[in-house]
Amino acid sequence: MKKLALIPAVVALLIGGAVSAQVYYPNYSYGTNPPAGQAGCVVLSSDLSFGSRGSEVTKLQQFLVSQNYPGGGSWMVTGYFGNATVQAVRNFQQSAGIPTTGFVDGQTRSAIQSRSCGSLGDGYLQNYFNYGSNVSPYLPTGQAGNYPYTPPSYTTPIYTTPTYTTPSYTYPTYQNPPMSPWGLSPVINSLSVTSGGQGTSVTVYGANFDIFTTSVRFGATSIVPAINATQTSFTFTVPNVQTGSYPVSVTTPRGASNSLSFNVTGSTSQCGWGYFYPCTQVNITSLSPMSGAVGTTVTVYGNGFSTSNNTVYFGSVSIPNVSSFNGNSIVFTVPFQVTGYGQQVVAGTYPVSVRNAQGQVSNTQNFTVTSSGSGGSAPVVASVTGPTSLSTGTQGTWTLTLNAPYGTYVTTSVRWGDETLYAYAAAAPQSTYVSGQQTVTFTHTYNSIGAYTPIFTVTGPGGSNIASATVNVTAGGGTGALSLTYINPSSARVGTYVTLYGNGFTSYGNDVHFGVGGTKNLSSNGNTISFTIPAWVSPCDFIQSGYTCGAPATQVVPGVYPIYVTNSVGSTNVINFTVTQ
C-alpha cells in the first residue's frame, strides 16, 4: 500500500506543472530516507563539462560522491565542474564501460540514470503512462485499463524533514588550468624540492600531464622526455646550468603550464677531496673572434674542457653536448635566438661561459654581436620518410630530417589531408630545438580509403620550408570471414542507436571504430552489433583499461564519419555514416 501512496504524488507532479528532473528515491516508502551514500534517482537534463556551474552540476557531484570513488567526498559538492569532477566522471565512465572523456554527454547521462534509478527510475513513470496496458505492478487487480485511475482513500503519511548539520570543512584551493582548443592545458602545483645543484632529481606535481609527450622547460633549456610521467607527476634532472633562479614549466600538445622557480646552487658532481677523482677547474682565456654577426663560428680557448658533454652558455642560451678534442678549445656557433620560441639575438654584448662534464663552471668572456641580420637561412627539410600505402585503421609514422644552425628553435606542423572528413582541425604545431641535423616524427591513422598528401611545414628565424609525401589508403579487411555489409540507419543524430550488419563478428570483444574514436568490447550474435552514435570521440577510446591516455576528445558534429569493426579475427571494410543535425 505504501507504493500506491506514491502514485498521486507522481500524478500531481506530472499533471500540475513541468516535470522535475530532480531526485526520486527508488524502492523506499514515505517517511524513510534513502541509505547514507545514495544519491537517489538522478536525471540530468543537459550535457555538462569542465567549467559548468549550477544545480545540474550539484546533482552530478552528489551522485559521484555516492559512488565512493577513491579521493571523493562531500567537499566535491560545490556546483562547479572542476578538475576533481572531471576525474570522478572518468572513473564512473570507466566503471560503466563507456568512453572516458570526462564530459557528461547523452550516453553518460543515460548511464547515470540507469545506475541511480534502477528498475523504479526506468519503469515507475512508464507504468503510470501505461495504465491501459495491464502492465503496471503498482495498480490493484482489476484497475488496469481504467484511466484516469481513481486511487483509494488513504491517510497521508506524516513526513518529518530531517535536520542536517553542515560539517565544518576548509575547501582546498585548486588552480584551474585554461582550456586550449585541444583540451586541458597542464598545470604545476608544486616541486618536490625548490633548490639544489646541477643533477638534482626534481619531481613536479600538478595535473593534465601526458605520459609520452610531457616535456619540462628549465629556464631556456628544454628537457625531453620527462621521466616517469603520469597525468599528475613526473621527474626530471636539473641540467648543467649556471647558479641562479630558473622558471620551471611544462609543455604538452595541449599547451604550456604556469611556472615555478627553482634555485640552482651549484654542482652535485662527486669530485674533490674525499672522492675518487679531483674536480677539473675550467678557465676561459680568450674567444676568437670576439665579435661577429649571428651564425659566426667562435673558438673558445682555455683549459679544463672535457672530451665530451661540455655545455656552452651564450647569454641565456645553453648549447649542450659540445666536444673538445684537446681539452683546451671548444667551437660553437653564435645562435640565432636567445630564449624561448622566436626571440632573436640582436646586436649587443653576451657573456660566454663553459660547464664541463663534471659540472665545473668557467669564468665568463664577453662576445659582441654586431648584427642579427635576417636571422639566417630558413631551416631545411632534408628528407621525409614514411609509408606510401596503408590500410584503413592502421597507424603510420613519418620522419622528417631537419637541418638548421645550432641553437635554433623551429616550429613544425602538418596537415594530413583528411581533416575536413572528420570535422577536426590540424594538429597543434610542435616547437623543436635544433642543433645541426635532427629528426622529428609524426604519426597518423587514416580511416577512409583514398589518396592523401600530408604536407609538413617547418618554420625558423630565417623563414619556412614545406615538404610533402603521398600515401594511398586502402580498405582494411573486409574479405572472407570478417566484413561489414551495411548500417541501419545509415544517417542519424548523435545518440541514435544503430545496428551494424556483417559477418565474422565475435560474441564479445568487437571494437567499433567511429571517426578517430569509437566504442570498445561490444558483443554480437555473429552478424549484428548494436552501437550508439557518440557525442565525443578520441583515440583514448581504445586504450586498454588501467592505462592513461592524454589524447584530446573531439566533439562529433554533423558530417560524414567512417565506421569499421575490428576484433580478434581482423578488420572489416569501411562504411561511411552521416551524422545529421
The values of phi and psi at residue 76, to 5°, are -70, -20
Per residue in 54-87, pLDDT (tens digit) is 999 999 999 999 988 776 778 889 999 988 898 8
Q: How confident is the model at residue 179 (pLDDT cuts 50, 70, 90)?
A: very low
Contact 549, 542 (CB under 8 A): no
Confidence (pTM): 0.29
Measured at the CA of 442, the angle between CA 510 and CA 469, to 5 degrees, comes to 105
Report the number of secondary-structure helices (H) and strands (E) in the chain: 5, 38
Three cell numbers at 294? Answer: 649571428
How far apart (Å, rounded) are the C-alpha atoms in residues 381 and 402?
5
pLDDT in tens, 19-32: 333 333 333 333 33
Domains of the chain: 6-133 (1.10.101.10), 179-267 (2.60.40.10), 283-369 (2.60.40.10), 380-474 (2.60.40.10), 483-579 (2.60.40.10)
pLDDT tens for 248-259 read 988 877 778 899
How far is Cα 242 from Cα 143, in angstroms, rounded to an integer?
A: 88
Cell numbers representing residue 210 in the block: 601526458
* Distance in angstroms (rounded) separating the CA atoms of residues 528 and 410: 50
pLDDT class for 488, splitting at 50, 70, 90? very high
How many Cβ atoms from other residues are within 10 Å of residue 31's Cβ? Answer: 11
Instruction: Answer for the pair 261, 245: CB distance below 8 angstroms, yes or no.
Output: yes
Q: What is the DSSP string of 266-283?
A: EE----STTSSSPPPP-E
Average of pLDDT values for 362-391?
Answer: 78
Mean of per-residue pLDDT scores for the chain: 74
Q: At what angle do helices 83-96 and 55-66 cross, to 10 degrees?
A: 60
573 close to 484: Cβ distance less than 8 angstroms: yes
Q: Is it the case that residue 241 has pLDDT exceeding 80?
A: no
Nearest CA to 533 among 574, 578, 572?
578
C-alpha pair distances (Å), 254 with each of 410, 425, 454, 555: 18, 13, 22, 16
